[in-house]
Structure 1
Amino acid sequence: MNASTQTHPLPLQPLHLPEAPGMWPLPWGYWAILATIIITALLLIWLTRHYKHKTRAKKAAIKLIETHSGSSPSSAIEIVRQAALSYFPREDIAKLSGEQWLAFLDSQLDDPRFKAKALQWQHVLYRKAVSSKETDHALVNDCVHWVQHALPPKRKFRNWKQS
């Protein structure tokens, strides 16, 4: 017998292969990964916006003090007061003056700078006598340091006690 005349012993139909599996619907693992990525992205966006909103007054105060490079200590301390009013309760901050104000400023720093220089602050703020440039520069630098390190508040205002 030759190959062309040979017949199959069983009459079989040709094989029907199923379609290749499609991409949809995704397995649950892919949905979980996708949900995790979306939630993480939304959380990062929210945290970024919250941080920018929280530090807006701090950045504005630093910019104001630094743009007025020849600014006087009285204008620098006024900018510090405005920045403090942005972060702390207005009814508590607005009434502070003199020693109480300096004590509050020191209470928000790890290294107090204001109460030790209270006499210099009194001379600069309330006297017409001209102070030295070094003193003015040091006091303005203390104001910049306070804004950079005390804002936004890391310590609760209610824990501050007047000494």
Structure 2
Amino acid sequence: MQSQDPLAQLAPLRLPADPHWWPPAPGWWVLAILFLVAVLSGLYLLLRRHRRRRYRRTAVAQLENCYQSIAANEHLPYLNECNRLLKIVALRSFPQRDVAALSGQAWLDFLQQTNPKPDQQAFSKSLNTQLYAKNSAVKPAEIEHLHRSAKQWILRHRAAS
């Protein structure tokens, strides 16, 4: 016997399958490509900056080695090496015509002007006077201050654009 309700004779509704997550819509592809380009560009810029600053890391390592090898009351080799490294870094970062001939007070003024955090005593007269004075005693505190100042200048000087 058949039922009176014709809807009861219908088969149950079949729902469509859930949409898959792959392949994404075209907008997601564009967004993924833009993200990839941004990440690769950022990595390229970081690598380029890292390579451009290699001279700074090398100079600081040499400065640290020289500072560690200071013999008792033998500060002149350290002062000479510190001055030499500062000059090398300056020649690498600034036009040679502006830096090569500097010495004495003009050299200290240049270091002070290009120092990112100007400190009145960053490069005290110990660098200038002790380099050219014979048998003059340098206080260990002055050497330590000079070492910190030189290291800071090498790492953070404002290079010529």
- Compute the TM-score of the two structures, normalised by the length of structure 2: 0.71
Q: Check conservation: 2:130, 2:138, Cα contact below 8 A.
A: no
Shift of residue 114, structure 1, vs aligned partner = 5.0
In the alignment, which residue of structure 2 is the partner of 1:104?
Answer: 110
- What percent of counterpart residues are identical? 23
Q: Check conservation: 2:105, 2:128, Cα contact below 8 A.
A: no
In the alignment, which residue of structure 2 is the partner of 1:78?
Answer: 84
Where structure 1 has 5 or more consecutive residues not aligned to the other structure, the ranges are 3-17, 158-163
Q: How many residues align?
A: 142
Return the letter of the residue paired with 1:145: Q
Shift of residue 138, structure 1, vs aligned partner = 2.7
Alpha-carbon distance in 2 for matches of 1:24, 1:145 = 53
In the alignment, which residue of structure 1 is the partner of 2:26?
Answer: 28
The 1:22/1:125 distance shift into structure 2, 3 A limit, reads same
Where structure 2 has 5 or more consecutive residues not aligned to the other structure, the ranges are 3-15, 71-76
In the alignment, which residue of structure 2 is the partner of 1:139?
Answer: 146
In the alignment, which residue of structure 1 is the partner of 2:121?
Answer: 113
Structure 1: which 4+ aligned runs deviate by more than 4 Å?
Answer: 18-26
CA RMSD of aligned residues (A): 3.0
The 1:74/1:19 distance shift into structure 2, 3 A limit, reads same
The 1:72/1:27 distance shift into structure 2, 3 A limit, reads same
Query: 1:48 is paired with a residue of what secondary structure?
Result: helix
Alpha-carbon distance in 1 for matches of 2:133, 2:21 = 80
Mapped pair 1:122 → 2:120? no
Alpha-carbon distance in 2 for matches of 1:91, 1:144 = 24
- Compute the TM-score of the two structures, normalised by the length of structure 1: 0.70
